[in-house]
Amino acid sequence: MALIVCPDCGNNVSDAAPACIHCGRPLAAPGRGVTPDRYGVVCTHCGSDDVRKLSVVHTAGLLSKSTEPPVERKLSLKPFKYGLFVASVAVAIANFTHPRTVLLFGWMLAAMVSAVMAYLENEENVEFNESEYPDLKKQWNRSVMCLRCGRVFEVDTL
């Protein structure tokens, strides 16, 4: 057994250790080559070298719910439709009391209200897709799952 330097914390660690005893970084298993599905990484929890990328586990259909990739949020037109409907009902009711002025301005107001409702509803989804989703996707691509204990952890070397 020889001592190697941990790439993360820089401390000396035995090359036979499954993970760094100082920072917990998984280390390659000794004497085993990196294969396309094993990556030379061992589980930080149980020490098993039977780990797979989450994308491989998900594609194989193993534990598919817990290994699903992050999904971009879809934009919705429902708020626009509901806003237009509510504003249309308001215009129709107001049309009975002030028919000339309400009709023109009422429809313009209905369109503006429904557009604002759609924007406000979808603003959160757009922000998620632009800021949080890319980081979640990168994290998922760097993650592996131990097929022995089921633990999911990130690996920097993938």
Question: What is the band of 131 on the pLDDT scale with cuts at 50, 70, 90?
Answer: very high
Per-residue pLDDT tens over the stretch 62-84? 665 677 888 998 887 777 777 77
List the structure tokens of 127.
């922000």
Per-residue pLDDT tens over the stretch 11-45? 888 877 777 787 666 766 544 444 444 567 888 88
What counts of helices (H) and strands (E) characterise the chain?
4, 5
Residue 31 backbone dihedrals phi, psi, to 5 degrees? 75, 5
What is the CB neighbour count within 10 angstroms for residue 22?
13
Give CA–CA dist 140/69, Å, rounded: 6
Per-residue pLDDT tens over the stretch 94-118? 767 766 666 667 667 777 777 787 7
